[in-house]
Structure 1
Amino acid sequence: MTDLRAFRRACYEAARRVGGELTEFRISDEPTPNFHQAIITYSSRNVAVVCLRDAPLLALAVPRIIEFSPAREAGPLTFVDDPDLVAALRASPGFRLLTATELGGPIDAAQWPRISRYDMRYWQPETLGEGLFNYWD
């Protein structure tokens, strides 16, 4: 399990460093999605720092709503790069930040044993990002 306190600290510190404001934590406590989000707000946009529930892996994405009604979003995340935020998060000990380029690439199952072979066959993710950060049940 990911340490939520460490995730919060890392996000607050990163937001402070880049001049953004951490405005919301969206904690996933249901079976899906398999990630949490910290929303960092800038004057003209929002960026989500997403963190896997069961591994200290981070990525930057377009924020997603985690609610059941009217319908739960279930498609793949849209990953983004923000150079300043990437640099700030890479300074956070205990987490690995994946870039949009890495997440948009193919999955090498040998490098990612946390992604079950069954899920790979059933859900057929096209990218590493879809395989790691998802709404699978």
Structure 2
Amino acid sequence: MVDLREFRRACHEAARRTGGQVVEFRIADGVTPNFHQGVVEHGGHRLSIVCTNDRTEPVVAVAEPRAIDGTAVDAGPLTFVDAPELVAVLAEFPAYRVLTPADLAGPFDARVWPGYHPGDIEFWAPGDLGETLFNYWD
């Protein structure tokens, strides 16, 4: 499980050092989704720093903001975005493995990412690594 205090600190630090500000935290408090969001106003638009909640080594990425409200409308795959300035700051936090949109667009490999139940992979049929790591599966 992710340390929420550390995640908040990382989001605030990334926003501060890149001229942005955190405007909201969306903390997942149930089974789905399996990630938290720190919504950042950055460069004239909003981005979400997303962090998996169900991994020993939390994975962090930058995506378009999504609502966490349990509705099916918000259950699709995230849209990951390039934000090199934010990623550079987040990469300084050793607790996280930071991935880019290019990383997340690649295929899921169970040997590299153990801990995902083969039945979930077969049932949900994720299209790429990003869909596997950041999901609304129950």
Which category of TM-score, normalised to the shorter sequence, fits these structures? Answer: over 0.9
Moved over 4 A (4+): none
Fraction of identical pairs, as percent:
54
Task: Please give the TM-score of this superposition, normalised by the length of structure 2.
Answer: 0.93
Is the contact between residue 35 and residue 51 of structure 1 (CA under 8 Å) also seen in structure 2?
yes
* Partner-residue secondary structure (3-state), 2:74: coil
| Matches of 1:79 and 1:17, distance apart in 2 | 21
Structure 1's unaligned 5+ residue stretches are: none
* Structure-1 residue corresponding to 2:134: 133
* Structure-2 residue corresponding to 1:32: 32
* Structure-1 residue corresponding to 2:51: 51
* Structure-2 residue corresponding to 1:110: 111
Structure 2's unaligned 5+ residue stretches are: none
| AA of the residue aligned to 2:100 | T
Number of aligned positions between the proteins: 136
* Structure-2 residue corresponding to 1:63: 65
RMSD of aligned Cα (Å):
1.2
Task: Please give the TM-score of this superposition, normalised by the length of structure 1.
Answer: 0.94
* Structure-1 residue corresponding to 2:6: 6
* Partner-residue secondary structure (3-state), 1:88: helix
Task: Give the stretch that moved more between structures: 84-93 or 123-132.
Answer: 84-93
Q: Deviations over 1:24-54 (max 9, x none)?
A: 0000002210100000102521110000112
Is the contact between residue 36 and residue 53 of structure 2 (CA under 8 Å) also seen in structure 1?
yes
